[in-house]
Chains A and B, each alone.
Chain A
Amino acid sequence: MNPAQLYTQPAAYLVVAAFLLATGIYGLIRRRTLIGMLISGELIFAAASLNFMALNRFTAPDRSVGQIAVLFIMGLAAAEVAITLSIIIAVYRNYRSIASKDLNELKG
C-alpha cells in the first residue's frame, strides 16, 4: 500500500476511531471527578462520529446520510453536556465535592 494514499483507506480512520474509544473508556474508568468522566464520554462520542463518517464515505452509496447522522450526534452531545453540567453544579452545591467517591448516598 502506498503511504501517500493512506487517506483513501477506511481502515486508517477506523483505527483512529478505535483509539478514541479506547482512550475514552480508559478515562471513564480512571477519572475520579464527574467532569473528567464527562470529558471521556465526549471522546467516545467523537469515536462514534468518526466511525459513522468513515463507513458512510467509503461503503455507502448515499454520502449525505452519515453527515446528517453525525450532525444529530453533535446536537445530542451538546444537549447532554448542558444537562450534565447543571447536574454537576447541583451535586456540588449539595456535597461540596464532585469526586465520585463522595457521592455514596441515595437519600438526599
Chain B
Amino acid sequence: MNSFPFSDWIVAAIFIGCIAITVTGALIAACTKRIIRSVCGLAIASLGLAGLFYFLNSPFLALMEILIYIGAVCVTIIFGVMLTEPDEAAPENFTKPFPVIAPLVSLAIGAGVFLGIAKLSLSVNWQAPATVVSDGSIKDIGIRLLTTYSVPFELVSLVLLVAILGALVIARSGRTKE
C-alpha cells in the first residue's frame, strides 16, 4: 500500500481538506447575508461531507450525497428562492429589538452545543467491535434493502410519493382562489 512516496500524508491532507470544505460550507450556509450564497454553502458542505463518507468506507453514500443533496435539494431550494423574494430590504423604520444581546446569545448557544458534544466525543474511548459480521459493500446493502429492510424501503418510496402529491396540492391551492 505504501509503495507511492508519502502516500499516507497525501491521504491525511485529503482528509483534512474534506473537513475544511465541510466546515467552510457550513459557515457560509449559516452566516452569509444573501440566501443564494447560503444555498451554495450548503452545496459546498455536502461536497465535503461526501468526501468524509468516502473515508468512512462508503463510496455508495458519497455518490448518493452528491446526487441527492447537491443535485436535488439545493436545486429545489434555488427554485424556492426564485419563486419567492427572500432578500427583501428591511424597512427604514425597523429597529432590531436586541442589537447586541441576540447575536451573543445565539453564538453562546452554538458554541455551547459544539464544545459540549466535542468534549463528550473526545473523552470516550471508542471500542472497535470484536467481530465484523458484514463488510458493508454495495452488494450487501442491495441484498439487505430487498430482504431485511424491504418494508422501510417501500415506506420511504411511499413517503416520497405522498410528499410530491402534497407539495403539488399545497402549492397549487392558492392559485385557484385568485
Contacts and interface: CB of A to CB of B under 8 A. Distances in A.
A22 B110 contact: yes
A46 B49 contact: yes
Interface residues of B, number: 92
Interface residues of A, number: 75
Interface in B127-161: 127-136, 140-141, 144-145, 149, 152, 156-157, 159-160
A27 B22 CA distance: 16
B42 A19 contact: no
A18 B162 CA distance: 32
B106 A29 contact: yes
A33 to B, nearest CB: 4
B53 to A, nearest CB: 6
Given A38-B77, A39-B42, A25 B19 contact: no
B141 A14 contact: no
B174 interface: yes
B158 to A, nearest CB: 10
A66 B53 CA distance: 11
A56 B155 CA distance: 23
Interface of B: 8-9, 11-12, 15-16, 19, 22-23, 26-27, 29-31, 35, 38-39, 41-42, 45-46, 49, 52-53, 55-58, 60-61, 64-65, 68-69, 72-73, 76-77, 79-81, 83-86, 88, 102-103, 105-107, 109-111, 113-114, 117-118, 121-122, 126-136, 140-141, 144-145, 149, 152, 156-157, 159-160, 162-164, 166-168, 170-171, 173-175
